Amino acid sequence: SQTIHQWPATLVQPVGSPLSLECTVEGTSNPNLYWYRQAAGRGLQLLFYSVGIGQISSEVPQNLSASRPQDRQFILSSKKLLLSDSGFYLCAWSGVRGQETQYFGPGTRLLVL
Amino acid sequence: SQKIEQNSEALNIQEGKTATLTCNYTNYSPAYLQWYRQDPGRGPVFLLLIRENEKEKRKERLKVTFDTTLKQSLFHITASQPADSATYLCARGGANNLFFGTGTRLTVIP
């Protein structure tokens, strides 16, 4: 069966520090991968999605970036965090047809102080 | 723009009653809609998918309808239980991804 992992589960970082969140998927090949952010009490905001290794599409301009160095690994990064980067970050995967059901990881709660 | 909206931010209902949540879409005709459940501090979990040519779909105590005339999907939970308390999200498909509504927070009162 397929599983999706995210780490760390919780992170407290000072403003201006770098960020690296990792997501890995097991039990499937060539998945579509997604990064979402969910601010407190708000909906899911799609940040990035990837249909293959090295292929990243950005949905919103920001100081975040994403990379997909391996088929089942998706990384969210920032060189300098802002207060507004605080939120709940979710990674998800789906089949190769992007409109299919998405399966979410447990999330990373990021607090920037 | 192509919007998907869940107009009710919160819904409180007595245990045992049927909860009905609404999802509306404008300016397009989705091939299907999906419903997810999200518990606090957790990722959303897929519940049901309904296609435009399906009027209704059921899964245990859950029922989803799709009305292309009203541009609306309804999500019902029958015989609701306190364990059904969560935020429920609807979603439509995009070119390579899903667009989610902001969700309705359901509270089932014992």
- Contact (CB<8Å) A104/B98: no
Is the pLDDT reported for residue A102 higher than 60?
yes
Q: What is the mean pLDDT of residues B7-12?
A: 89
> Is the CB of residue B95 less than 8 Å away from at least one CB of chain A?
yes
Task: State the nearest Cα–Cα gap between A14 and chain B, in angstroms.
Answer: 22
B21-41: per-residue pLDDT in tens?
Answer: 999 988 778 888 999 999 999
Nearest CA to CA, how far is A71 from chain B (Å)?
17
For chain B, percent of residues with pLDDT exceeding 70: 97
Q: Is the model more confident about B93 or about B19? A: B19
For residues A65 and A56, what is the distance between their CA atoms, to the nearest angstrom?
A: 9
Q: How far is A48 from chain B (nearest CA, A)?
A: 10
- Name the average pLDDT for chain A: 92
Whether a cis peptide bond, with omega within 30° of 0, leads into A18 is: no
pLDDT at A99: 58
- Per-residue confidence (pLDDT) for residue A61, from 0 to 100: 67
Distance (Å, whole) CA B34 – CA A45:
17
Residue B97 contacts A, CB cutoff 8 Å: yes
How many percent of chain A have pLDDT more than 70?
95
Q: Are A20 and A11 in contact (CB under 8 A)?
A: no
Q: What is the pLDDT of residue B15?
A: 97
How confident is the model at residue B47, as a pLDDT? Answer: 96
Q: Is B99 on the interface with A (CB under 8 A)?
A: yes
Contact B96 A43 (CB under 8 A): no
* Better-predicted residue by pLDDT, A45 or A90: A90
What is the distance between the alpha carbons of residues A48 and A60, in angstroms, rounded to a whole number? Answer: 8
Beta carbons within 8 Å of A41's beta carbon, 6+ residues apart: none
Model pLDDT, residue B2: 66
Exposed, middle or buried: residue A44 (CB in 10 Å: 0-12, 13-18, 19+)? buried
Band of the pLDDT at B1, cuts 50, 70, 90? low
The residue of B39, B87, B98, B100 whose CB has the most chain A CBs within 10 angstroms, and thus the best one to mutate to test that interface, is: B98
- Specify the pLDDT at position A67: 96
Q: Which residue has the tokens 């980067």?
A: A85
Query: A4-22 pLDDT, tens per residue?
Result: 999 999 999 999 999 999 9
Chain B residue with Cα closest to A35: B97
At B26, which amino acid appears? T
Q: Distance (Å) from the C-alpha of residue B45 to the closest C-alpha of chain A?
A: 7
User: What is the pLDDT at residue B5?
Assistant: 87
How far apart (Å, rounded) are the C-alpha atoms in residues A57 and A66? 9
Query: Of the given ranges (A62-66, A73-77, A93-97, B79-83), which has the lowest mean pLDDT?
Result: A93-97
